[in-house]
A and B are shown apart, each in its own frame.
Chain A
Amino acid sequence: MSDQIALSRRSFIAASLAGGTVLTLDASVVLAATEITTASSPGQELNAFIRINADNTVTIGAKNPEIGQGVKVMLPMLIAEEMDLAWEQVRIEQTDADEKRYGPQVAGGSTATPRNWLPMRQVGGAARAMLVAAAAKKWGIDPATLATSKGAVVHPSSGKSLTYASLAKLAAVETPPDLAKVALKNEKTFTIIGKSKPGVDVPKIVKGVPLYGIDTRLPGMVHAAIVKCPAHGGTVASFDAAAVKAMPGVLGVVAVNSGFVPQGKSDTVVVIADSWWKASKAREKLAVKWDDAAVTGFSTAKYEADAAKIVANAPQASLFKAGDADATLAGAAKVVKADYDYPFLAHAPLEPQNCTALFKDGKLEIWAPSQAPAGGREETAKLCGLAPDDLTIHMTRIGGGFGRRLMNDYMVIAGQIAKAMPGKPVKVLYDRTDDFRHDFYRPAGWHRFTAGLDANGALIALKDHFVTFGVDGKPIRAAQMAPSEFPAPVVPNVDLGVSYMATNLATGWLRAPTSNAMSFVWQSFMDEVAEAAGLDLPEFMRRTLGAPREIPGERVKFHTGRARGVIDAVCKSAGWKGREKGRGFGFYFSHLGYFAEIVDLSMKDGMIRIDKVWVAGDIGAHVINPLNAMNQAQGCVIDGIGQALIGQKIVQENGAITAENFGDFALMRIDAAPRAIAVEFVKTDFPPTGLGEPALPPVIPALSNAIYSLTGKRHRRLPLEMV
Chain B
Amino acid sequence: MSITLTVNGRKRTVAADADKPLLWVLREDLDMPGTKFGCGAGLCGACTVHLDGDAVRSCQTPIADAAGKSITTIEGVGLNELGKRVQDAWIALDVPQCGYCQAGQIMSATALLKQNPKPTPEDIDGWMSGNICRCATYMRIRAAIRTAAGLPAEETAA
Contact = CB atoms under 8 A, between A and B. Distances in A.
Interface of A: 67-70, 196, 198-199, 201-203, 205-212, 214-215, 217, 275-277, 348-352, 397-402, 429, 431-432, 573, 627-628, 630-632, 634-635, 637-639, 642, 661-663, 667-671, 673, 675-680
Nearest to B130: A669
Given A207-B75, A399-B36, A627 B94 contact: yes
B100 A198 contact: no
A208 B75 contact: yes
B142 A208 contact: no
B98 interface: yes
Contacts of A670: 124-125, 128-129, 131, 133, 138, 141-142
A215 B134 contact: no
B53 interface: no
By CB atoms of chain B within 10 A, which of A397, A399, A668 has the most? A399
A604 B104 CA distance: 30
B32 interface: yes
Contacts of A196: 94
B132 A206 contact: no
A320 B117 CA distance: 60
Interface string B109-141: 000000000000100111011111111111111
Contacts of A201: 96, 99
Is chain B's binding surface mostly helix, strand, loop or mixed? loop
7 contacts: A206-B103, A349-B98, A349-B134, A350-B38, A661-B40, A667-B44, A669-B129
Contacts of A635: 97, 135-137
B19 to A, nearest CB: 9
B42 to A, nearest CB: 10
Contacts of B151: none
A214 B36 contact: yes
A677 B28 contact: no
B73 interface: yes
B98 A67 contact: yes
Interface in B8-56: 20-21, 24, 28, 31-41, 43-44, 46
Contacts of A627: 94
Contact of B132 (A67, A212, A662, A679): A662
B102 A205 contact: yes
B105 to A, nearest CB: 9
A680 B158 contact: yes
B78 A207 contact: yes
Nearest to B89: A206
Nearest to B142: A670
Contacts of A680: 158
A209 B125 contact: no
A678 B157 contact: yes
Contacts of A642: 136
B101 interface: yes
Contacts of A679: 157-158
A396 B97 CA distance: 15
Interface string B68-93: 00000111001000000001001100
A261 B103 CA distance: 37
B55 to A, nearest CB: 15
B2 interface: no
A662 B97 CA distance: 20
A634 B157 contact: yes
Contacts of A349: 98, 100, 134
Nearest to A351: B100
Contacts of A639: 135-136
Nearest to A211: B99
By CB atoms of chain A within 10 A, which of B21, B41, B46, B121 has the most? B41
Contacts of A209: 34
A163 to B, nearest CB: 29
Contacts of A398: 98
A352 B99 contact: no
B106 interface: yes
Given A207-B34, A631-B94, A400 B134 contact: yes
A431 B21 CA distance: 14
By CB atoms of chain B within 10 A, which of A573, A669, A670 has the most? A670
A64 B39 CA distance: 27
Contacts of A199: 94, 96, 99
Contacts of B20: 277
Contacts of A399: 36, 98-101
A669 B138 CA distance: 8
A207 B33 contact: no
Contacts of A401: 98
A210 B34 contact: yes
A677 B139 contact: yes
B23 to A, nearest CB: 9
Contacts of A663: 41, 43
Contact of A632 (B33, B78, B97): B97
B41 A662 contact: yes
A701 to B, nearest CB: 19
B41 A400 contact: no
Contacts of B78: 206-207
A637 B136 CA distance: 9
A275 to B, nearest CB: 5
Nearest to B31: A217
By CB atoms of chain B within 10 A, which of A202, A276, A628, A630 has the most? A202
Given A214-B36, A217-B33, A400 B135 contact: yes
Given A208-B75, A635-B97, 12 more contacts: A201-B96, A206-B78, A208-B33, A209-B34, A350-B101, A352-B38, A402-B134, A661-B43, A663-B41, A667-B132, A669-B129, A677-B139
Contacts of B137: 631, 634-635
A201 B90 CA distance: 12
A68 B129 contact: no
Nearest to B29: A275
A208 B74 CA distance: 5
Contacts of B35: 208
A683 B137 CA distance: 25
B156 A676 contact: yes
Contacts of B37: 214, 352, 429
A385 B86 CA distance: 50
By CB atoms of chain B within 10 A, which of A206, A429, A661, A671 has the most? A206
A106 to B, nearest CB: 17
Given A203-B91, A678-B157, A351 B36 contact: yes
Contacts of A678: 157-158
B95 to A, nearest CB: 8
A704 B138 CA distance: 22
A402 B155 CA distance: 28
Instruction: Kindly list the 4 A-B residue pairs having the minimum CB-CB distance in the complex, ordered from nearest.
Output: A208-B34, A68-B98, A399-B100, A208-B74
A432 B40 contact: yes
A634 B38 contact: no
